[in-house]
Structure formats: structure tokens, C-alpha cells
Amino acid sequence: MKRIQTETEGYFVLSRGDEKIEHVIEESLEECKRTLIKGAEKDLENACYIKSWNVKENVLSFALNSGNLVRSHVGLLRLKKVLAKELGEKLKIGIRRVSAKNFKVILFDRVDEVAVNKIKSMPKIRDVYIEDNKTVILLEDLDENDLRGNLIDRLINLIEEVSKEKHVSYEQIQPIVRISQPKQMKFTGDPLITSVELGWVVPFPGRGQFIYTSKYAALFETIKTILIEEVAKKGGFKPFLLPKLIPFEVMKKMPGYFDSIPEGMFYVCPPPREPEAFDNFKLEYRLKKEVPIEELKKVLKDPAYVLAPAQCEPFWYYYSVIKHKSETLPLKYYDASGYTYRWEGGGVEGLVRVTEFQRIELTYVGLPEQVVNIRDEIVEKGIYVADKILDLEWRITAAAPFYVKEGSSNFDPYNSVEVPAYDIEIYLPYRGPRESSEWLEVAGCFVHKKKFVDSFKIKCEENLEIWTGCTGLGVSRWTAAFLAEKGFKEEDWPAIVREKYREILGE
């Protein structure tokens, strides 16, 4: 089936005009057609075809259209080869230059507005519009270098990726309790696209996974360092290093995971203790150089862990095995020791909804008013980083997490003790106007009340009521949001970011 089509007008500038050119072309037409089908013989719909052609003085033009197997730019280069030979042998005419105008990529699908914006922000894109339920992407004029490199194929891959993203139609339901002054946007594109273009990020074969190269990594480290300094350390939080591989017995105590979103986690099987169990596996693998999946499934032990989806799981385990007294409260610890994981199914999007990502996870345990105050302080400090240091446009919304959604969604969003979570959100220009587009949650600042205390049996010696809370500062998302507003030019970044960035990069 044809899902994608390309069209273009190709131009060959010849070494001179000649009235016999038309005749030579006519004689070569059959060979031209054959060469445009090569490789798509079994799927002719996706080959390349000549719609019309024309000679005017020393310029020869072809209108081509194609499916996805021999794309029009490839067709044009194949035509050049055939015609150069024919014109050279028969008329001693050479081809001086090849170029293409009105190169269109047509998706047989209507992409949504967010995708249109994202595609518009890709390089070499002149326009994107919807026509007859199809999406038409018009490229800028292309020279032979553009046609020969893998620019167009890379573009089409990106376009296909974006068209598969699900941009859920957005309705603002969380009440906005505070909002920043509008800030000047230095960039309007999807940072993933520019990151890939610049080599800051390289897609990894696993869905929603990326290799982040040195410039991205240095910016990430910069923002992580700032957040740890300004939010964690200044807030009196101390570092922990937490496991990221969570045994079922711990995960079972996390409210809402196994019962509500088991489909959002990766499951991990340990190997058996006896290495001999793998003897057949090794034999088969060495023979076929393919992982023998059925044999592997026979050998492996049952799934026994998940990859941490929440990051704080081991904190609650820790708080449940130590003794609490009122004079040692509140406890404030953070972890920023590695990746956590969510399986987003079809829902991965750009750099902001990925499978594997990093957070600074802060947890706090204390008397109820201590916990509420700590949460509110974190929100203030987070706003400070967004507003004063990173210079991002932010807002605070009041939210309820999935496990309290039922029943308690009627709360006064300004009365902190009633609010399960304050989200810090950052505006993403590529998603559209401020008022109607979805902003990016970069921090969820929670008060759990007794939810986790009950579930993990966290006890205070004097039988005082204690509460817990946690805040995830999504460093991967802060970084993506920063790039979405500030772009990729160091001179557009706040000086403090630029300096730390250069120091980390070692430049």
C-alpha cells in the first residue's frame, strides 16, 4: 500500500542546446522508465514515474512522482546517469547541473497541528499544509548536493516519526494558580529535530531512547547541577544513591502501579543461578548468530523486578526500615543517580516523552505541616530556577495524581494542604500559542498525606501522625524545555548557563 508519495520538478542544465535533444530523449524514454522501477519491481506502486518532460534551449526538465521505494530525488539521479550517457554518446552534450524545485513529500494521512508545527521547524521545509486529507510537505529548492546526500531520506524519516506521534488533543483542566511574565522565545522548533540535525542527539534503536552526545550532555549536567544546588541543597536535602531495579515485593507497596498502570513498566527476568542452564542457548547462538528467543524464555527465571518507574520506591522502603522520632523529623533526601523508565506505548514524543529519562527525586517525611511547607518551598525554589536562572516561561498548576483522581479532585487549588500536587510547567513554543497549547510538566511536587505511610507501614515511635511527599524534577524535560525556548545558540542562553556549560564541556 502506498502511504507516502514524493513529487518534484527536476532540471538538467546541459552544456549546450540542440534541436536533436528531444529526439534523443524520446529514444531513451524506455530505458529511463526501466531505471526508475529498479528495486520496486514487486511493488510498482512505490516506484518512480515520469509525469511529463520538456526541453527548452539547454534546459531539460522532468516532472516525477514516486512512492516510497524509489523516491523522486533518487529517480532524478538515475535519470541523470542514463541521459548523460545518451546525450554524451549521441550529441557530445554534457549535463552541467541538476536541481529540483517544488519537491513535495505527501503523506496519505492528515497529521495534527502539533505535527504540522514540528515538520515546519525541520530544515529545508518551505511549507506544510493539508489537502484532501493528505499532508503536503513542500521543500525548498534543492541542488545536486541536497539530492545526493541523505538529507531527503533523513527528512522523510523524521517526518514519518513525527506523523506517528500521538499529540493528544489538549484541554486545560488543571487550574493554573500562578503564571510568569511572558518571556522572549529564541526558538520555535521541536528541539529533537534540531538536536538530531546538529548531532546533539542520536536516535538509539530502542523506542524512545537516545544517545545524548557531548553538547547535550553538558547542557543537561549544567541544568542538573543548578537544580541540585538551588532546589535540593539549598532546601537542606541530602543525597542518596538508590537502586533502579525494583523487586516486586517493594513495587507491590507502591500505590497504583500494579493495579492501575502495569502496562507502563518494563519487567526484568534474572538468569538462573546455574550457568549450565545456558549451554543450549550458547550453542544455538553460536550457530545462528541470532538470539534464540524460545530457548531464552525456557532458561530465564520468572520476571521478578521492574525498572523503577517512580524513582522514589527505595526511599519508602528505607523509611519503613528505620526508626522515626519526632525530633529527627523532617527527613529530606534526594536521589539523582541514574535513569528511570516508563513504557509509553505509542505515546513517545520528541525529547519530552521518552522511555528512559533522568530525574532528581526529592522525598520528605515529617509532621503534616512540615511536609506541606517543604513542598511549598520546593515549588518556590523551582520557580526561581525557571524564572531567574534559566529564564523560562513557567506556570504552576494544581493537579491530582492518578491514584487519587477519584474522589478528591474537588480541592481549593490555593490551599496547599488540600492540593495533592503542584506541577511546574514550561511553555513549549513549538506546540502552538501559549493559551491553547499543552505546556510541559517539568516537576510534580506532591504531598501524599498518609498514602505512602500506610502502604509502606512507616511508623513514628510516639505514634504521631506523619506524612510524606515527593517531588520529581525531570532533568531530561527541563533540558528539552530549555532548548525549546532558548534554542541551540550559546549566545542566546543566560550567561550563568553558558559559563557552567563551557566548564563542564571543558572548553
If one asks whether residue 339 binds a copy of itself (CB under 8 A), the answer comes out as yes
Q: Site mask, a copy of itself, residues 380-399, x = CB under 8 A?
A: --------------------
Q: Which of 69, 98, 246, 453 binds a copy of itself (CB under 8 A)?
A: 246
248 belongs to the binding site for a copy of itself (CB under 8 A): yes
Measured in degrees and rounded to the nearest 5, phi and psi for residue 362 equal -105, 135
> Is the preceding peptide bond at 275 cis, omega within 30 degrees of 0?
no
Q: Is 421 helix (H, G, I), strand (E, B) or coil?
A: strand
Interatomic CA distance for residues 65 and 49, integer angstroms: 5
Among residues 12, 305, 394, 467, the one that binds a copy of itself under rule CB under 8 A: 305
Scan residues 478-507 and list those touching a copy of itself (CB under 8 A). Answer: 504-506
Query: Residue 40 phi/psi, 5° resolution?
Result: -125, 25
| Nearest residue (CB) to a copy of itself, 39 versus 247 | 247
Q: Which of these segments, 72-80, 116-124, 161-169, 216-224, binds a copy of itself (CB under 8 A)?
A: 216-224
53-61, 115-123, 274-282, 368-376 -> range binding a copy of itself (CB under 8 A): 274-282
Q: How far is the CB of 381 from a copy of itself (least distance, A)?
A: 14
User: Residue 149 interacts with a copy of itself (CB under 8 A)?
Assistant: no
Minimum CB separation from a copy of itself for residue 269, in Å?
5
- Stretch binding a copy of itself (CB under 8 A), from 155-163, 340-348, 413-421, 492-500: 340-348
Which one of residues 27, 245, 454, 502 is an interface residue with a copy of itself (CB under 8 A)?
245
Under rule CB under 8 A, residue 198 binds a copy of itself: no
Long-range contacts of 494-500 (CB under 8 A, 24+ apart): 494/389, 494/390, 494/391, 496/226, 496/389, 497/219, 497/222, 497/223, 497/226, 497/389, 497/390, 500/222, 500/225, 500/226
Q: Please tell me whether residue 275 binds a copy of itself under the rule CB under 8 A.
A: yes
Of the residues 244, 324, 381, 431, which one makes contact with a copy of itself according to CB under 8 A: 244
| Centroid of chain to Cα 411 | 33
Which part of the chain contacts a copy of itself (CB under 8 A), choosing from 20-28, 148-156, 236-244, 400-408?
236-244
Which position among 63, 91, 179, 268 is part of the footprint of a copy of itself (CB under 8 A)?
Answer: 268
Does residue 205 bind a copy of itself (CB under 8 A)? yes
Residue 446 grid coordinates: 506532591
160 near a copy of itself (CB under 8 A): no
Q: Distance between CA atoms of 370 and 466, rounded to whole angstroms?
A: 9
Number of residues that bind a copy of itself (CB under 8 A): 85
Round to whole Å and give the CA distance between 359 and 376. 19
Q: Does 461 bind a copy of itself (CB under 8 A)?
A: no
CB atoms within 10 A of CB 81: 11
Render the burial of 160-185: b for 16+ CB within 10 Å, e for the rest: ebbbebebeeeeeebeebeebeebeb
- 153 is a contact residue toward a copy of itself (CB under 8 A): no
The answer to whether 70 and 27 have CB atoms below 8 angstroms apart is no
Distance (Å, rounded) from C-alpha 261 to C-alpha 381?
Answer: 31
Rounded Cα–Cα distance for residues 3 and 212 (Å): 31
Instruction: Match 512507616 to its residue by C-alpha cell.
Output: 458
Q: Which of 42, 52, 131, 273 binds a copy of itself (CB under 8 A)?
A: 273
Nearest to a copy of itself of 132, 327 (CB atom): 327
Pick one of 103, 187, 318, 493: the residue that binds a copy of itself (CB under 8 A).
Answer: 318
Max Cα distance, the chain (Å): 103
Nearer to a copy of itself, 170 or 267 (CB): 267
What 3-state class would DSSP assign to 396?
strand
Judged by CB under 8 A, the stretch of 331-339, 411-419, 440-448, 458-466 that binds a copy of itself is 331-339
- Whether the CB-CB separation of 448 and 312 falls below 8 Å is answered with no
Q: Which of 40, 217, 367, 464 binds a copy of itself (CB under 8 A)?
A: 217
CB of 13 or CB of 505, closer to a copy of itself? 505
Judged by CB, which is closer to a copy of itself: 131, or 507? 507
Chain centre to alpha carbon of residue 143:
31
241 binds a copy of itself (CB under 8 A): yes
In whole angstroms, give the CA distance from residue 321 to residue 346.
38
Q: Does 452 bind a copy of itself (CB under 8 A)?
A: no
C-alpha 215/C-alpha 227 separation (Å) is 18
Q: Which of 22, 26, 57, 259 is close enough to bind a copy of itself by CB under 8 A?
A: 259
The alpha-carbon radius of gyration of the chain (Å, integer) is 29
Q: What residue type is assigned to position 163 of the chain? A: S
**Residue 119 interacting with a copy of itself (CB under 8 A):** no
345 contacts a copy of itself (rule: CB under 8 A): yes
Residue 180 or 213 having the CB closest to a copy of itself: 213
CB of 271 to a copy of itself, least distance (A): 5
- 446 lies in the binding site for a copy of itself (CB under 8 A): no
